[in-house]
């Protein structure tokens, strides 16, 4: 595991972040360019974990790269975190690109002074070395607060004792949430946290389908989808929850009933695509069901060609 606090000095400094118990080291051993900076707003420093209090900015050069010696054919989760916090006093929200080697990974556009931004990718190394680069695309200065690399197993998960897998609340219009205080069996390969497993989204109107859709803004975009389900309500005699799932109007999974207090994961074994770039899933009660569909967790991975 590699956890870099970018801009931390001196370069031999290490510490344990008290919230996650993760050990962070300085990024100085992986890059020899850039200027170190620090968030000076005390309020932000109390709101965010210690690894984003410092940062490294790159006012010089078009392309500045971190270099790692790793393991060929190993799959890694790579995460960059960015907290601007007006560290330079300029009030200029930065925009720039991230590259893995010569391939563009994603764009970073900071929208608020006091909000953090996270970019993640799962990447399989083709060599024993890796470059992660910040590329200037305009007049503003690229920067990074922390950079983390996690080796993954074949199920795209890592040691569950490392508590930094990021999940965000998900609730849509015309939906509501339900929850349970009972423990849920999450012993399938995907290590769904209890907080995710013990909550679920259902339609606000139980007679209506549940709809989830997203778009990457690219017609050629492909994605892998992982959906996590568990029955977390106590069903009375005669009650039943069963639903069909369609993808862009076509059958995807039929007559599914979530297991009581136990996670089941439905996923796409191949990358999915859409003619118009929109991914739309509809969950509809079957004729045998008395309860509306639910979903406890959703993971979406966009394919990036390298």
Does 167 reside within a domain? no
The residue with greater pLDDT, 276 or 210, is: 210
Co-location of 14 and 140 in the same domain: yes
On the question of pLDDT at 251 being above 90, the answer is yes
Q: What is the pLDDT of residues 66-82, one digit of tens each?
A: 999 998 999 899 999 99
On the question of pLDDT at 250 being above 90, the answer is yes
Does 285 reside within a domain? yes
Question: Number of structural domains, the chain?
Answer: 2
Does 156 reside within a domain? no
CA–CA distance, 144 with 134 (Å, rounded to integer): 8
Domain span including residue 70: 2-151
* Cβ neighbour number for residue 55 with a 10 Å cutoff: 27
SS3 155: coil
Co-location of 194 and 261 in the same domain: yes
Co-location of 225 and 292 in the same domain: yes
CA–CA distance, 288 with 13 (Å, rounded to integer): 61
Confidence of residue 164 (pLDDT cuts 50, 70, 90): low
List Cα–Cα distances, 119 to 7, 65, 97, 122, 260, in angstroms: 18, 16, 11, 11, 34
Co-location of 19 and 132 in the same domain: yes
Q: Is the pTM of this model over 0.75?
A: yes
Which CATH number goes with the domain that contains 299? 2.60.120
pLDDT of residue 154: 61
Does 273 reside within a domain? yes
Asked if 144 and 133 touch (Cβ cutoff 8 Å), the reply is no
pLDDT of residue 65: 98
Does 17 reside within a domain? yes
Does 258 reside within a domain? yes
Co-location of 14 and 118 in the same domain: yes
């Amino acid at each position: 595991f590699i956890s870099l606090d970018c801009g931390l000095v001196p370069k031999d400094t290490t510490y344990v972040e008290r919230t996650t118990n993760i050990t962070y080291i300085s990024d100085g051993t992986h890059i020899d360019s850039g200027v170190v900076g620090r968030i000076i707003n005390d309020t932000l420093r109390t709101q965010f974990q210690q690894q984003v209090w410092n940062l490294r900015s790159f006012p010089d050069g078009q392309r500045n790269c971190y270099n790692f010696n790793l393991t060929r054919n190993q799959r890694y989760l790579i995460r960059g975190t960015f907290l601007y916090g007006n560290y330079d006093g300029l009030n200029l929200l930065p925009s720039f690109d991230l590259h893995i080697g010569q391939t563009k990974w994603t764009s970073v556009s900071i929208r608020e002074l006091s909000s953090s931004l996270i970019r993640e990718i799962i990447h399989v190394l083709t060599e024993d070395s890796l470059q992660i680069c910040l590329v200037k695309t305009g007049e503003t200065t690229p920067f990074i607060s922390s950079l983390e690399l996690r080796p993954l197993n074949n199920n795209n998960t890592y040691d569950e004792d490392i508590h930094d897998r990021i999940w965000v609340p998900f609730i849509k219009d015309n939906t509501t949430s339900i929850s349970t205080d009972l423990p849920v069996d999450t012993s399938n390969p995907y290590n769904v946290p209890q907080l995710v497993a013990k909550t679920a989204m259902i339609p606000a109107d139980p007679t209506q389908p549940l709809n989830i859709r997203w778009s990457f803004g690219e017609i050629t975009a492909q994605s892998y989808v992982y959906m996590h389900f568990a029955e977390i309500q106590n069903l009375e005699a005669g009650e039943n929850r069963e639903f069909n799932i369609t993808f862009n109007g076509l059958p995807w999974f039929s007559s599914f009933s979530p297991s009581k207090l136990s996670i089941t994961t439905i996923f796409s074994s191949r990358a999915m695509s859409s003619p118009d770039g929109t991914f739309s899933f509809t969950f509809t009660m079957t004729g045998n069901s008395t309860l509306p569909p639910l979903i406890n967790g959703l993971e979406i991975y966009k394919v990036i060609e390298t």
